[in-house]
């Protein structure tokens, strides 16, 4: 009985988080901001400086490729990055939910439930980071957390050292990542 209630609670929380992310995405899609810039994926922060880096983030690589294919607004780039992140997360959640539903009362259910809770926690952390960064005066951003680090794409017409410090402070205050694990991608 306890596992049923716990699974129902996790499913309800996941439903509301996914719904909130979807509604936020729809809201951002409707906003009529005329930003005629493209993603510059070559500028990535590492140890408080902007350096050239090889593409390791699939969402950033996809956005950069789309930006090179044709001129897109920053809003479209952010929408595609959010959609890519949400699709990959939904796929993982679906697989975990299937694992939980087909498994009996054993360790697989516990491990899958922990992974599902981890995904929900990461989604909430990403949303929190994005909200805090936007509240600091940036027009838009997308955070993508992974086990080995975090990538944050920020709409900006040129990040200053102060901007990088503000972004780094927000990320460090909301996560357990260390400075070398943080990558900031400027979208201009």
- The pTM is what? 0.57
Residue 62 is predicted with a pLDDT of 59
Neighbours of 174 (CB within 10 A): 18
pLDDT at 129: 92
User: Looking at residue 52, what is its pLDDT?
Assistant: 36
What does each of the 188 residues of the chain score in pLDDT, given as a tens digit?
677 888 887 888 888 787 778 777 666 655 434 333 333 333 444 344 333 344 445 555 655 565 554 446 778 888 888 888 888 888 888 887 877 777 666 556 777 788 888 888 888 899 899 999 999 888 889 999 988 899 999 988 888 899 999 999 999 999 999 999 999 988 87
**Three-state DSSP string of the chain:** CHHHHHHHHHHHHHHHHHHHHHHHHHHHHHCCCCCCCCEEEEEEEECCEEECCCCCCHHHHHHHHHHHHCCCCHHHHHHHHHHHHHHHHHHHHHHHHHHHHHCCCCHHHHHHHHHHHHHHHHHHHHHHHHHHHHHCCCCCEEEEEECCEEEEEEECCCCCHHHHHHHHHHHHHHCCCCHHHEEEEEEC
Query: What was the pLDDT predicted at 105?
Result: 60
What is the distance in angstroms between the CA of the first residue and the CA of the last residue of the chain?
A: 52
Q: Where are the domains of the chain?
A: 2-187
- In angstroms, the CA 185 to CA 97 distance is 33
Question: Which pLDDT score, from 0 to 100, does residue 68 have?
Answer: 55
- What is the pLDDT at residue 75? 81
Q: For position 59, what pLDDT does the model report?
A: 57
Alpha-carbon dihedral sign for residues 115, 118, 122, 123: positive
Superfamily grouping for domain 2-187: Stage III sporulation protein AH-like (1.10.287.4300)
């Amino acid at each position: 009985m306890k596992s049923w209630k716990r699974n129902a609670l996790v499913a309800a929380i996941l439903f509301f988080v996914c719904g909130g992310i979807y509604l936020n995405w729809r809201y951002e899609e409707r906003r009529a901001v005329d930003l005629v810039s493209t993603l510059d994926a070559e500028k990535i922060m590492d140890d408080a400086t902007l350096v050239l880096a090889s593409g390791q983030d699939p969402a950033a690589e996809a956005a950069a490729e789309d930006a090179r294919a044709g001129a897109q607004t920053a809003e479209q780039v952010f929408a595609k990055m959010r959609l890519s992140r949400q699709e990959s997360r939904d796929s993982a959640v679906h697989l975990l939910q299937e694992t939980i539903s087909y498994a009996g009362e054993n360790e697989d259910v516990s491990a899958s439930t922990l992974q599902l809770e981890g995904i929900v926690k990461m989604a909430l952390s990403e949303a929190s980071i994005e909200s805090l960064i936007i509240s600091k005066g940036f027009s838009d951003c997308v955070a993508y957390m992974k086990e080995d680090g975090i990538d944050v794409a920020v709409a900006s017409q040129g990040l200053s050292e102060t901007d990088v410090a503000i972004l780094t402070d927000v990320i460090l205050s909301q996560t357990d990542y260390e400075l070398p694990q943080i990558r900031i991608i400027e979208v201009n």
